Structure 1
Amino acid sequence: MGRTNGRTPTRPAMVAAASGLALLASGCGYLSGEGGSSGGGTDAADVDCSPYEQWEDIGGTVDIYSSIRDEEAERMDRSWADFAACTGITIEHEGSGEFEAQLPIRLDGGNAPDLALIPQPGLLQRVVEDGHALPVSDGVRENVEAGWGEDWQGYASVDGELYGSPYGANMKSMVWYSPTYFSDNGYEVPTTWDEMVELSDTIAADGTKPWCVGFESGDATGWPGTDWIENALLRTSGTDVYHDWISHDVAFDSPEVEEAFDLVDGIVRNEDYVNGTFGGTDSIAVTSFQEAGLPLLDGGCAMYLMGSFYGAQFEEDVEIAEDGDVYGFVLPPLEEGGEVPVMGGGEFAVPFADRPEVVAVHEYLSTAMYADSRASEGAWVSAHQDLDPANLADPTDQFAAEVLNNPDTVFHFDGSDAMPSSIGTDVFWGGMVDWVTGSSTGEVLEGIESAW
């Protein structure tokens, strides 16, 4: 995850599940443009420093590198300002639109940040195997083991050793739509995949392209297509095959993966269904994911598959609500009453230095205290089990945290992000561009498989 591009004012994003419940996750967005910030601007005399006594008078400077920029970076900067003031630690944050490509270059060149917020377990594994990342401190390990479930701990571990602490979280199994448009035209939210296809046929017959799709994202172009495939594979083959596919125990050109591509093909490469106001299927590769969903507001298309963070792309006067301008439903299962998989992502704070001030900042970022502070700034959710819902800025954010922390929720990490980065965020992203611009499914699958 972590492909971020210039964002408009942030708004919480809400998802309505097929059961009628709402699912929301806000957090990491995929935005572009560079950005930097520094903590420490708050005067300690104006802050209650008692919560930070264990780190008092440490001082020093800690630089953090991430893909987070603009409004989201400003919120993050405010979230650690009191900590910085009370500890005397200056936190310098740099956000980059080329984070995934630049982090390995910086590491290989001896220009490592103190901490990086890495949105892909596959990239995390790479920087560990290349000998750059350090295991977390004992304090961070204790915080992670107490605050997150085994699934989240596993995403930040390599060969049983913990190398990072979970940061934000988001959900990517949602379809954005306009409740007003649906109501005006007598459309209902589908509860199965077949109902969604039938609805698409109806909307197309009524003269509107039912889907908007955009794969363009700068150096990360193609990643929105991987979300389609990952969600489809979870629905056609289930959890075990999904995880075996990520670990390459199921080949990329297996019948199971081909079935998922075929399911998506019926929507994404269907000229009757796409691509909103942007053109036909040939427009998908050059339509930015940020712009792709905006025609929902004026009836230019009816549905858009995109993560919960997409709420940030709408202007402040756009109402995100069940009866508002835009809303969302969870991408439905194949069968009525079937399990509705939840797929998403998040970032992990990974250390590359072990100076006292770096350890202190990392320890703080791994606490429920920090999660509460960041959540209070809005448009962000953590899977931390002790996150206080009262600190979330919006009731829908509160529900998202409840879902993420529900022990019955099986959270599936974004497959392309969990794979080795040379596959998941390289040839898989590129393969989706080839596929949507005309290459056959077989050619694309064989090409990705050969890269393993």
Structure 2
Amino acid sequence: MTTLLRRRLLAVPAVLGLALAAACSNSSSGGGGGASAAATLTGDCAKYQPYAGHSGTKVTMFASILSPESDSLEKSWAEFSSCTGIKISYEGSNDFESQLPVRVSGGNAPDFAIIPQPGLLAQMVKTGKVVKPPAGTVANEDKWSPVWKTYGSVNGTFYAAPMSANMKSLVWYSPKAFKAAGYEVPKTWADMMTLSTKIATSGSMKPWCGGIGSGTATGWPATDWVEEVVLGSYGGDVYDQWVSHQIKFSDPKITGAMKTVADWMQNPAFVNGGIGDVKSIATTTFQDAGAPILAGKCAMLQQASFYRAQWAKGTKISADGDVFAFHLPAVNPQVNNPVEGGGEFLAAFSSRPEVQAVQNYLSSSDWASSRVKVSSGWVSANQGVDKSLYTDPIDKISAEALTDPAATFRFDGSDLMPAAVGAGQEWKSFTAWFAEGQSIQKVAADIDAAWPQ
């Protein structure tokens, strides 16, 4: 999971709003709410005419996206908000997955939730509180591949438009450190393990660092490691059967994959460079996990494309820079180009006109393009985005992998599982696996027992 899980964002500077307001003029009053006549927008604001007529209104949005990534999220809709007069009040939380159900059941649902787990979306739909998207959002469906619309649907009914897509099958490293030590980027899993042993033997640093801490979502990076190994060992069919629990966690294939992860990320000789022992992985936040690479304390970190936002300001991210990333190799060379991805989906809990206007805009290629322009480390699920807009090298790698028709692509497994499992017992049990050294057999049995009957 998941997917972000970062610090509360900062407000967009007021001067930006003033500048945009000066560039956009209205030939009639926008009024104070959805019932008013739509103002005619001109200048730089003219492109937002389809969303006009709701000036003076406010919508609330709740998500797991935190600063610094959330800063660019707010910037992506700043012009829209200034021109239409619709204020988008955003709140990010590390406890999003646990707090959203509480708020919804307590009658305090936000207007929008950016949900990174299809399993959590299904749980919210069961409450009867999720509102089906308006016609304008549905009309944008041709901008997404069918599989992405499936992830935003529950029992065949479309509820939530996809927003971001992220590439999870990456390994971050320091090209400068690799060059200095004479290391080459591994092309196979066997090569990667051989390199890990070589680095460990050298004594200059540990080959791997990691962290699975993430507030109430602690444990999700460990689920990614197992998912990568299952997909890269057995391919898409076995992965699909596992995600749907046709193959249980206690199945030898899955416990075997967990053993592969244990030999990799629970190997005392391999981890946790610059931080501590194996157990320190459970107490280190995923945001802080990569810092030892820059300090020369560890060589590699398995994390998604969105981790780009966590590197310190001024870090050069390039093939010859301070950090870069390579595609995590398949465990089994017979599996063709395995790619695990994640994403986020916009679900609404209100059908007020201003809410629908925002929902329509955030499902458009125009918004997706705006988001790409103001952010590195973000890739859109919207196929209407011109790929030339991706100037960051990590974004280019991610966009190519996520759209490669020959790849064995699958969505994050724990995000697809029922929320009680994927965002519940699995996170809890995988945390205990690292923090307490619980056995693979117990971890698997506890997760299987939590599966809804």
- Partner residue of 1:24? none
**In the aligned structure 1, how far is the partner of 2:284 from the partner of 2:393?**
32
* Aligned match of 1:72: 69
1:277-297 deviation digits (Å, cap 9, x = unpaired)? 222212221122222211112
What whole-Å deviation, never above 9, does each CA across 1:384-434 have from its counterpart, x for those lacking one? Answer: 111023434535434533443444445321111111111001110111112
Q: Secondary structure at the match of 2:287?
A: helix
Contact persistence 2:170–2:305 (CA under 8 A): yes
Aligned to 2:425: 427
**Offset, 1:68:** 1.8
Q: 2:207 aligns with which of 210, 235, 238?
A: 210
In structure 1, which of residues 20, 30, 49 is the aligned counterpart of residue 45 of structure 2? 49
364-373 vs 200-209, greater mean Cα deviation? 200-209
Q: Which amino acid aligns with 1:168?
A: S
Q: Deviations over 1:326-361 (max 9, x none)?
A: 111111113457412111211100011111111111
User: Which residue does 1:11 correspond to in 2?
Assistant: none
Residue 171 of structure 1, CA deviation: 1.1
Q: Percent identity?
A: 45
Cross-structure match for 1:417: 415
Q: Does 1:318 align with 2:315?
A: yes
Distance (whole Å) between structure 2 residues aligned to residue 35 and residue 87 of structure 1: 21
What's the secondary structure of 2:164's corresponding residue? strand
8 A contact 2:233–2:332 mirrored in 1? no
Q: How many residues align?
A: 426
Q: Highest relative contact order (Cα 8 Å, sep 6+), 1 or 2?
A: 1
Aligned to 1:191: 187
Matched, 1:353 2:353: no
Provide the residue aligned with 2:263 in structure 1: 266
Q: What secondary structure, in the 3-state scheme, does the structure 1 residue paired with 2:301 have?
A: strand
Take 1:299 and 1:71, find their aligned partners in 2: how far apart are those partners?
24
For structure 1, the residue ranges without an aligned partner over 5 or more in a row are 4-28
**Partner in structure 2 of residue 295 of structure 1:** 292
Q: Partners in 1 of 2:423 and 2:438 — Cα distance?
A: 19
Q: Partners of 2:11 and 2:411 in 1: how far apart? A: 28
Report the 3-state secondary structure (helix = DSSP H, G, I; strand = E; otherwise coil) of the residue aligned with 1:290.
Answer: coil
User: Which residue of the other structure, out of 215, 219, 225, is the alignment partner of 1:228?
Assistant: 225
Equivalent residue of 1:412, what SS? strand
Pair 1:37–1:133, CA change in 2 (3 A): farther
Greater CA drift, 132-141 or 40-49: 40-49
How far, CA to CA, are the matches of 2:196 and 2:119 in structure 1? 35
8 Å contact from structure 1 (residues 134, 351) kept in 2 = yes
Q: Which structure: larger Rg? A: 2
Cα distance in 2 for residues equivalent to 1:396 and 1:173? 12
Whether contact under 8 Å (2:189, 2:330) holds in the other structure is yes
Q: Residues of 1 paired with 2:363 and 2:253: CA distance?
A: 38
Q: Which moved more, 1:46-55 or 1:216-225?
A: 46-55
TM-score by length of 1: 0.89
Q: Which residue of 2 aligns with 1:180?
A: 176
Give how far 1:38 is off.
10
* Aligned residue type for 1:30: L
Distance 1:398 1:184 in 2: 26
Deviations 1:84-110 (A, max 9, x none): 233222221111221111110000010
Residues 68 and 309, structure 2, Cα contact 8 Å, conserved in 1: no
Aligned to 2:158: 162
By how many angstroms is 1:237 displaced? 1.4
Give 3-state SS (helix, strand or coil) of 1:167's partner.
strand
Shift of 1:196: 0.9
Does the 8 Å contact 1:38/1:90 carry over to 2?
no
The more displaced of 320-329 and 76-85 is: 76-85
The SS at the match of 2:360 is helix
Letter in 2 for 1:292: A
Residue 171 (structure 1) aligned with residue 171 (structure 2) = no
- Could you tell me how far apart the structure 2 residues matched to 1:403 and 1:381 are? 11
1:282/1:91 Cα in 2 relative to 1: closer, same or farther (>3 Å)? closer
User: What secondary structure is seen at the aligned counterpart in 2 of 1:220?
Assistant: coil
Q: Could you say which residue in structure 2 is the equivalent of 1:8?
A: none
1:6 maps to none
Pair 1:142-2:118 in alignment: no
Q: Select between 123-132 and 33-42 the one with higher mean Cα deviation.
A: 33-42
Amino acid at match of 1:125: A
Partner of 2:346, secondary structure, is strand
Residues 49 and 164 of structure 1, relative CA distance in 2, 3 Å threshold: same
2:95 is matched with 98
> Which of 356, 364, 377 is 2:374 aligned to?
377
- In the alignment, what sits opposite 1:440? 439
TM-score by length of structure 2 reads 0.89
Aligned residues of 2:9 and 2:68 also touching (Cα < 8 A): no
CA distance in 1 between partners of 2:417 and 2:199 (Å): 36
CA distance in 2 between counterparts of 1:358 and 1:46 reads 24
Match of 2:85 in 1: 88
Whole-Å separation in 1 of the counterparts to 2:333 and 2:396: 27
Tell me if structure 1 keeps the 8 A contact 2:68–2:310: no
How far apart, in 1, do the equivalents of 2:293 and 2:321 lie?
A: 12
How far is the alpha carbon of 1:222 from its aligned partner?
1.0
Taking structure 1 as reference, are residues 135 and 227 closer, same or farther at Cα in structure 2, changes over 3 Å only?
A: same
How many Å apart are 1:438 and its aligned residue?
1.1
- Structure 2 unmatched ranges of 5 or more: 25-43
Q: Match of 1:62, SS?
A: strand
Structure 1 residues 122, 187: closer, same or farther in 2, change over 3 A?
Answer: same
What is the CA RMSD across the aligned residues, in angstroms?
2.0
The residue that corresponds to 2:450 in the other structure is 451
Whole-angstrom distance in 2 between the partners of 1:197 and 1:317: 31
The 1-side partners of 2:21 and 2:303 are apart by 41
Relative to structure 1, the CA distance from residue 156 to residue 64 in structure 2 (aligned partners, 3 Å threshold; closer, same or farther) is: same
Higher mean displacement: 229-238 or 383-392: 383-392
Structure 2 distance, partners of 1:405, 1:371, is: 16
Distance 1:95 1:37, change over 3 A: farther
Amino acid at match of 1:179: P
